[in-house]
């Protein structure tokens, strides 16, 4: 009797132990980021589990060999065989479906909404489109990319040279409103590192006024920077590029005549008394030389010598040789992003060094940023950010050291 009771207790203990065991695992993408809400199904009994915020799932332990079907929107389904009594943990990686349509989220600076539900006129520029240009100014990367945006000044470096909804006022401020990470940005746009920008949305119609009021009268440029994600493994990104440009070609334009031709025209005008020496505010150098010859202030030999020198002189050649130089633009950036179940972080550093086509004109910029977000409960998030920018400009030919 005692042996029978011992065997019965042993069987009950074994069954209880098996009942407490579960098959567990995690589902992530190719970059190691957890997929929240992925479906994990046992094909034999249709038991279903959904992954949590960390990508983890739990299913009853299979009593026989089975197959798991793992699926997630935008990813290729994966079939995974499991053995009887297997407990895991399983690490499942899903591949992106190349035929799936990518969901585009439009940010108005106040809320985010899918493209198909957004109203009004807007243009969304994603990260791949931004990186088609390597300019150190984020606004210059929008030129030729966003329709409905007019660059009044070529290579505009600030928002004053951009018009989104045309000219809305004569004497007032014509700059569009710039929103960075859901807050209006009043600083210098040149201090934003383009490598820190994830996407840009340009709001072009009056519907933006319902969000930002009268400030949206000239249009709104919404800039979203790169952010870390919850339950994301640490990701490190490094970017470096060097752009070399040639000197400006002053001989490309055909609106300029050679020196000899201009001197012939000036001599003809001088002989017709077209220059009034008393009231003329500006007299060309060759005409002054003709006046000195007429009044006998220089000898014929000196006149011929200076005239020959002027015929061979071309300011465009001198400017090209002594004032202009090839441009060199250097960009370097480092970014670190990641997060845990209740926090996420983003660290970035960028250094730009540009040499202008004018000798002595140089700029250097250092960007440092740190963003931390903490989840308090299910409905509250606290975010702290620190941005540091140091920019040095040498426009007068002085050597720049940074």
360-396: per-residue pLDDT in tens? 888 899 999 999 999 887 778 898 889 898 888 887 5
Q: Which of 71-75, 142-146, 193-197, 341-345 has the lowest mean pLDDT?
A: 142-146
**Residue 218 three-state SS:** helix
Burial class (CB in 10 A: 0-12, 13-18, 19+), 167: exposed
The Cα–Cα gap between 9 and 6 comes to: 5
Beta bridge partners of 202: 123, 221
Taking all residues of the chain, what is their mean pLDDT, rounded to a whole number? Answer: 81
For tokens 């089975």, the residue is: 66
Task: Name residues whose C-beta falls within 8 Å of residue 381's C-beta, 6 or more positions apart in sequence.
Answer: 373, 374, 375
Q: b/e map of 97-133 (b: 16 or more CB within 10 Å)?
A: eeeeeeeeebbbbeeeeeeeebeebbbbbeeeebeeb
Measured N-to-C along each axis, helices 300-312 and 259-271 cross at an angle, to the nearest 10 degrees, of 130
Q: What is the DSSP string of 23-43?
A: EEEEEE-TTS-B-TT-EEEET
Q: Residue 44: CB partners within 8 Å, gap ≥ 6?
A: 62, 64, 66, 67
**Cis peptide upstream of residue 388 (ω within 30 degrees of 0):** no
Tell me the per-residue pLDDT of 28-44, one tens digit each, with 9 for 90 and over: 888 788 888 889 888 88
Under 8 Å between Cβ of 189 and 159 = yes
Region 111-135: mean pLDDT is 75
Looking at the DSSP bridge assignments, the partners of residue 24 are 58
Burial of 148 (0-12, 13-18, 19+ CB in 10 A): middle
Q: How confident is the model at residue 12 (pLDDT cuts 50, 70, 90)?
A: very low
- Cα 12 from Cα 27, distance rounded (Å): 34
Q: Is the pLDDT of residue 85 over 70?
A: yes
| % of the chain with per-residue pLDDT over 90 | 16
63 pLDDT more than 90: no
Provide the pLDDT for residue 113.
66
Beta partners for 34?
28
Rounded to an integer, the average pLDDT of 398-402 is 41
pLDDT band at 118, cuts 50/70/90?
low
> Taking residues 213-220, what's their average pLDDT?
79
Q: Look at residue 199 in the predicted model and tell me its pLDDT.
A: 87
Higher pLDDT, 81 or 4: 81
Q: What is the pLDDT of residue 188?
A: 77
- Other CB atoms within a 10 A radius of the CB of residue 67 amount to 13
For position 402, what pLDDT does the model report? 38
User: What's the pLDDT score for residue 102?
Assistant: 58
Contacts 24+ apart (CB under 8 A), 280-288: 285/310, 286/262, 286/310
Residue 157: what pLDDT? 58
Burial class of residue 320 in the structure, from the number of CB atoms within 10 Å of its CB (0-12 exposed, 13-18 middle, 19+ buried): middle
CA-CA-CA-CA torsion sign (339, 234, 191, 151)? negative
- List Cβ neighbours of 18 (8 Å cut-off, separation of 6 or more): 61, 85
Tokens of 357: 């086509």
b/e code 276-305 from CB counts within 10 Å (16+ = b)? eeeeeeeebebbebbeebeeeeeeeeeeee
Mean pLDDT along residues 253-273: 87
**If DSSP codes are grouped into helix, strand and coil, which group holds residue 252?**
coil
pLDDT at 328: 93
Rounded CA-CA distance 143/129 in Å is 11
Convert 190-220 to b/e letters by CB count within 10 Å (16 or more is b).
Answer: bebbbbbbebbbbbbbeebeebbeebbbbbb
Helix (H) or strand (E) holding 2: helix 2-20
Least confident range of 43-52, 218-227, 276-285, 339-348: 276-285
Q: Are 39 and 217 in contact (CB under 8 A)?
A: no
């Amino acid at each position: 009797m005692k042996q029978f009771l011992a065997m019965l207790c042993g069987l009950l203990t074994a069954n209880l132990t098996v009942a407490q065991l579960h098959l567990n695992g995690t589902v992530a993408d190719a970059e190691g980021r957890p997929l929240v809400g992925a479906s994990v199904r046992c094909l034999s009994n249709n038991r279903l589990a959904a992954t949590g915020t960390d990508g983890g799932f739990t299913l009853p332990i299979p009593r026989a060999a089975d197959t798991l079907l793992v699926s997630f929107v935008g990813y290729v389904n994966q079939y995974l065989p499991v053995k009887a009594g297997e407990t895991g943990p399983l690490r499942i990686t899903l591949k992106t479906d190349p035929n799936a349509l990518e969901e585009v989220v439009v940010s108005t600076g106040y809320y985010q909404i899918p493209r198909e539900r957004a109203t009004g006129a807007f243009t969304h520029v994603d990260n791949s489109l931004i990186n088609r240009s390597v300019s150190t100014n984020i606004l210059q990367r929008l030129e030729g990319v966003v329709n409905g945006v007019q660059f009044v000044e070529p290579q505009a470096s600030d928002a004053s040279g951009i018009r989104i909804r045309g000219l809305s006022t004569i004497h007032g401020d014509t700059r569009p409103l710039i929103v960075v990470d859901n807050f209006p940005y009043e600083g210098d746009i040149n201090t934003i590192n383009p490598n820190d920008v994830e996407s840009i949305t340009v709001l072009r119609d009056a519907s933006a006024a319902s969000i930002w009021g009268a400030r949206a009268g000239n249009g709104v440029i919404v800039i979203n920077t790169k952010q870390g994600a919850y339950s994301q493994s640490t990701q490190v990104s490094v970017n470096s590029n060097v752009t070399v440009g040639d000197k400006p070609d002053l001989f490309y334009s055909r609106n300029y005549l050679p020196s000899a031709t201009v001197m012939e025209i000036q001599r003809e005008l001088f002989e017709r008394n077209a220059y009034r020496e008393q009231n003329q505010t500006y007299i060309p150098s060759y005409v002054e030389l003709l006046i000195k010859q007429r009044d006998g202030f220089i000898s014929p030999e000196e006149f011929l010598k200076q005239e020959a020198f002027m015929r061979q002189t071309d300011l465009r050649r001198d400017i090209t040789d002594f004032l202009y130089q090839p441009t060199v633009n250097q960009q370097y950036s480092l970014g670190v992003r990641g997060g845990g179940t209740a926090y996420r972080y983003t660290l970035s550093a960028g250094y730009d060094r540009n040499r202008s086509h004018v000798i002595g004109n140089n700029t250097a910029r250092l960007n440092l940023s740190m963003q931390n977000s903490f989840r308090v409960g299910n409905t509250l998030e606290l975010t702290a950010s620190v941005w540091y920018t140091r920019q040095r400009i040498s426009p007068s030919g002085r050597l720049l050291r940074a």
